[in-house]
Structure formats: C-alpha cells, structure tokens
Amino acid sequence: MRAESTVGVVVFAGFEELDAVGPYDVLQTAAREGAPIAVELLAVDDADLVTASKGLRVEPDGVLAVADAPDYLVVPGGGWNSRAETGAWAEAERGVLPDRIAACHERGTTVTSVCTGGMLLDRAGLLDGRPAVTHGGALAELREGEATVVDARVVDDGDVLTCGGVTAGIDLALWLVEREWGEDVAAAVSTELEYERTRDVYQRA
C-alpha cells in the first residue's frame, strides 16, 4: 500500500448529494487531523462537471480507473428506488460502474457503499454470500440476491462495507476512519463536525 492511502468517492449523474458529500467531509477532516489519506472525487466518465440528484454540480478530480485503483472506494446511491433516469439504477443498467467496482476490488480496493450504492455493489457481485445493508426502500430487493441482509446501520465485512440510507454514510466513514487510522482521529473528526456518532456496526465474527 502507498505511504499515503488514496480514497476515491465516486460521483455520477444523479448521485444522492449527502451519500457522497458526508463521507467526503469526514475523510477530508480526518486527513486534516493527521490520517495519511488523500481523498478525491472520481467520475465514471471523463466530465468537467457532474450533476447530482438535487442539482448540486461537482467538479471531479479525475476518473475512476482500474489501472490506478484507489485503496478505498466510496460508492453513493441515489435514484434507485424511483428507477430514475440518472442515478444508481441507471448506472447499474449501463453496467460500466459495477464492472469497474468489481475490477477495483479484485485489485485490492476496499469498497464501501452508502445507501443504494449497496445495490451497485450487489450488481457488481461483491455482496454474494456477504452480510450487507442498504436503504430501507431497497432491502427487499437486496434480499432477493445473494447477500445476507443485516439489521445494522453499518455492516463491516472486511474489504466490503455497506450502510443504510443517506446519513448513515457519515457513520460508515467515521467507522472506517476509526478502523484504519485510529479511534483518536475518529473522535477528533466527530468533535470537529459536532456529530454524535451511531455505533450500530455489525462485524462478521
């Protein structure tokens, strides 16, 4: 692993804003608190701007490339339950992002998802035989696949982590910071953000 770990937060047309921005803020704050990480927004396609589900426009730092796979990947959701024309459902149907997620994981990337980003992980085949969770509105669909749905806000299965809807991404990111870079760093981040953590984390024994 690089001396400075790389974290890629995926952005695509129609992603849910807080799914991505919440973890991004946590991780960037962790970097300022001493965690040796570099956080980037990574698009699926080469684009100057990506428009999220509620109109936020972000400028990606680069493109998610398998050849330069990050150490950690955060996959947001958005638009899955409504089958929106843009969002996680559209990306799953297009197939490019699930394939790239799977390829990055094969190269050693720890993959995390927020909300219905978990359904993209499921489409990528990463949740087969694993405990997982997603947004409440998609749990029935997740149960139809090969994942074992767990009643927890954050589910940690080592190199694959999932969480519930939207705000759960903040708890997932704080848990990842604690797991990888220490409880003191995570505590400093939650204090800086004035966020009361939810410690509803499931880890498979």
Beta bridge partners of 73: 8, 111
* Residue of 31, 115, 127, 132 with catalytic role: 115
Total number of domains in the chain: 1
Separation of alpha carbons 156 and 176, rounded Å: 9
> For position 138, which CATH number holds?
3.40.50.880
pLDDT given for residue 137 in this prediction:
97
Q: Is 115 a catalytic residue?
A: yes
Long-range Cβ contacts of 85-88 (<8 Å, 24+ apart): 85/14, 86/12, 86/13, 86/14, 86/51, 86/53, 87/12, 87/13, 87/14, 87/15, 87/16, 87/53, 88/12, 88/14, 88/15, 88/116, 88/117, 88/119, 88/120
Residue 140 located in a structural domain: yes
Beta bridge partners of 160: 111
pLDDT given for residue 196 in this prediction:
95
Which residue range is the domain that position 53 belongs to? 5-196
What is the pTM assigned to this prediction? 0.97
Residue 162 located in a structural domain: yes
Beta bridge partners of 9: 41, 74
**Per-residue pLDDT of the chain in tens (205 residues, 90 and over written 9):** 346 999 999 999 999 999 999 999 999 999 999 999 999 999 999 999 999 999 999 999 999 999 999 999 999 999 999 999 999 999 999 999 999 999 999 999 999 999 999 999 999 999 999 999 999 999 999 999 999 999 999 999 999 999 999 999 999 999 999 999 999 999 999 999 999 999 999 998 7
pLDDT given for residue 3 in this prediction:
63
pLDDT given for residue 173 in this prediction:
98
Separation of alpha carbons 45 and 93, rounded Å: 15
